Chain A
Amino acid sequence: MAWTRQILRVDLTKGTCTSEALNMEWAMDYLGSRGLATKYLVEEIDPKVDPLSADNKLIMATGPMTGTIASTGGRYTVVTKGPLTGAIACSNSGGYFGAEMKFAGWDMVIFEGKSSKPVYLMIENDKVELRDASHLWGTSTWHTEEQIKKENQDPQIRISSIGKAGENQVLFSCVVNDLHRAAGRSGVGAVMGSKNLKAVAIRGTKGIGNVANPAEFQKVTTEKKQILAENAVTGEGLPTYGTQVLMNVINEMGALPTRNFKDVKFESANDISAEAMATPRETDGKAQLVTNQACFGCTIACGRISKIDKDHFSVQQKPQYHGASGGLEYEAAWALGAANGVKDLEALQYAQMVCNEHGFDPISFGATVGAVMEMYENGTLDEKKIGLKAPFGSAEALCELVEMTANGEGFGVEIGLGSKRLCEKYGQPELSMSVKGQEFPAYDPRGIQGMGLTYATSNRGACHLRSYTVASETLGIPVKTDPLVTEGKPGLVMAFQDATAAFDASGLCIFTSFAWGLGDIQPQIDAACEGDWSEEKLQEVGERIWNMEKLFNLEAGLTKEDDQLPTRLTTEAATEGPAKGLVAGVPEMLPEYYEIRGWDKDGVPSAEKRKSLGL
């Protein structure tokens, strides 16, 4: 079966925890994790709800593959209505926390209401209780993990928590688990903070003993691990270099957005690349990268563990940052680095650590700093307003701004609003590089056209993890397409979106899709779950999830206008590289995309489409 068939409902207003049977009919239609949690959310909340009010709900959910021996079977998602976007928020994380939730016997936990004082949820198998967290409030995610383990005298507890950013309702704050892993985007941490929920701590010792066909499951998961091991990306590129393997590649394509998307190439890309992380520093002769690390069950192990240079200006006399810690992934290295022209690798690592420690998204943070720097350079903001000089390229400014944002001090409070609200406040809305209020990740849609449509149509706001067409347009996976053209991209984006939704719903990591297609996860899901899981069915589950999310957004009040890119990308052409002279072709792709989706010209799913998907 692979589902535990039990969900936990926590009413924070009343302080009660109750167990319910999982709705198996929904499980058959939405599989798990992203799909199933979103189904519960859309059934239970008013889409118009204020995301930071007690009426919003927050769901932490696993998939049927979570906690099994399938490679990467350790993921969970946090689903809620997002405060950054006003749209559906759905952030996925690895680490060990998700598997522990399953081992404790729960498919998902639904939080509703709002606690009158800070609390954390302690789950020990069936024993579940809300506990006082006053002593943890105001402390970091790192301290919270350490303290909960200490006071329970149990180092084997797994914890997911918010830091100061979530408490302060920074609109791009995240939920951090296992120190360096995060449900990172759309401000899910702020929702947790608004509910006075500091952490969820789990110790699960029941395990998963109900896989439908254990012998077949062992056989097929072993075979599929072999595919990951033999693939150049999942077997070599990711374990050796991590996602950072992309920095030089994307820069060469002229698709590395630089200085708030003014440029498409970063002259210092190599200084902040995977290669740089592995090269001994001049200062202390050591490389920043210490080792790689896997999430639960993962045979890829893309995670980076790094050590900062102890003598770097950002960490002098700050021993808490001198140990090994979660290191730079590509999106973060780009957002903290290229997006604001900073080439100091140690400064980027410092900013990354502060983001993990206090729980906020380095992509949105870094991209917002990029907008601040542009407004500093064009004279909209000055030293007095910001509290420091903030020209493009200033590592000092980056490090100070990350602290101010973490601590909710000075101008950091305004950065915590995200670039859309910040740029609007200072009369320059066009400088926010975002869709639906969420900042872009690290691919310039002028040089990788499919990503423009990906950002525009992503249900959770600009995001690379909803349809990673980079795989096709850059790496040729599963087929090579030309990154500079728009033809064929609507179909490509749609196919990636639906498949990705199915991967996410299963509890597996989307990075497996460099080597696996739906045809590879299908036999694993089929062997683990009751019911008949064909490739077509998974495809349909993915499409159903996508349409359900879209319908939620429409009911929340979003329109076609929210599916547009900022004018910079559709009017200012790339100035160099292969994409020179090109703008992002979203306006021409969008109508076709709506059409093949079976949506009308305003992007509303037709009655027919809804009916065919049972929505």
Chain B
Amino acid sequence: MVYNTKLKATDLGTVKHLVIKIKRYVMQKSLYIDPEKCTGCLQCEMACSFEQTGVFNPSQSRIKVFNFEEEGRKVPYTCTQCDEAWCMQACPVDSIKLDATTGAKVVQDETCVGCKVCTISCPFGTINYVVETGKVAKCDLCGGDPACAKACPTDAITFVDANWTGLDKMRKWAAKANDASL
């Protein structure tokens, strides 16, 4: 990932070491997004909002699909659940907590005071304030069974082994190795 620009290489080393130690035997899954497959149907936004709020309401979805019309590209985007999550670190009342099983950083509605500091600190914009509730909202991986991935008809969103999100791409390139026609 390219977003660790504010950390020094040495910091990164420590952080990674630490994380690896903690998680050694925990298998985790992560959302894997392949924008090329996305048709822009918004089933994911509908499923997300319904799971999170009980209402079909894309404006409350934690995953957003962007349509770059000029290029004909549709790109779904949501929280990647950073290990050293900026939002979690920035929260002054400790209201964003790690779900150790799923790896999700989860907003605790009971204690969130709606100060929005997390929304400023997140480099990706994936945690947002919700006027209707006075709290912030972000993707929590639906407790380990994300609704968006289940709803996506094209497999543009899948929920895969967090250590092997590159597996599909590797397979694609591997298929080219040893190809007699090359």
Contacts and interface: CB of A to CB of B under 8 A. Distances in A.
Interface of A: 67-69, 71, 96, 99, 103, 156, 179, 204-209, 211, 214, 218, 225, 229, 239, 290-299, 301, 305, 307, 323-325
B54 to A, nearest CB: 6
A218 B74 CA distance: 25
Given A69-B46, A69-B56, A291 B41 contact: no
Contacts of B41: 294-299, 301
Contacts of B60: 205, 207
B57 A208 contact: yes
B57 A103 contact: yes
Contacts of A290: 71-72
A214 B69 contact: no
Interface in B29-76: 39-43, 46-47, 49-50, 53-60, 69-74
B59 A156 contact: yes
8 contacts: A211-B56, A290-B71, A293-B40, A293-B74, A295-B41, A298-B39, A298-B41, A301-B39
Given A68-B56, A294-B40, A301-B41, A225 B153 contact: yes
Contacts of A205: 57, 59-60
Contacts of A239: 39
B151 interface: yes
Interface residues of B, number: 26
Contact of A323 (B54, B69, B151, B154): B69
Nearest to B49: A207
Given A69-B43, A69-B46, A323 B71 contact: yes
Interface of B: 39-43, 46-47, 49-50, 53-60, 69-74, 151, 153-154
A105 B73 CA distance: 30
Main secondary structure of the interface of A (DSSP, over half): loop
B1 to A, nearest CB: 26
Contacts of A298: 39, 41
Contacts of B70: 323-324
Given A103-B57, A209-B57, A229-B153, A294 B39 contact: yes
Contact of B59 (A204, A229, A296): A204
A296 B42 contact: yes
Nearest to A298: B41
A506 B102 CA distance: 40
Contacts of A299: 41, 43, 153
Given A294-B40, A324-B70, A208 B56 contact: yes
B56 A209 contact: yes
A292 B39 contact: yes
Contact of A103 (B54, B58, B72): B58
A156 B64 CA distance: 11
Given A96-B42, A205-B57, A296-B42, 10 more contacts: A71-B43, A71-B153, A211-B56, A293-B72, A294-B39, A323-B70, A324-B69, A324-B70, A324-B71, A325-B69
Nearest to B72: A324
Question: Considering the complex of A and B, which 3 residue pairs feature the smallest CB-CB distances, nearest first?
Answer: A207-B57, A324-B72, A209-B55
Given A229-B153, A290-B72, A206 B57 contact: yes
B182 to A, nearest CB: 20
A306 B151 CA distance: 27
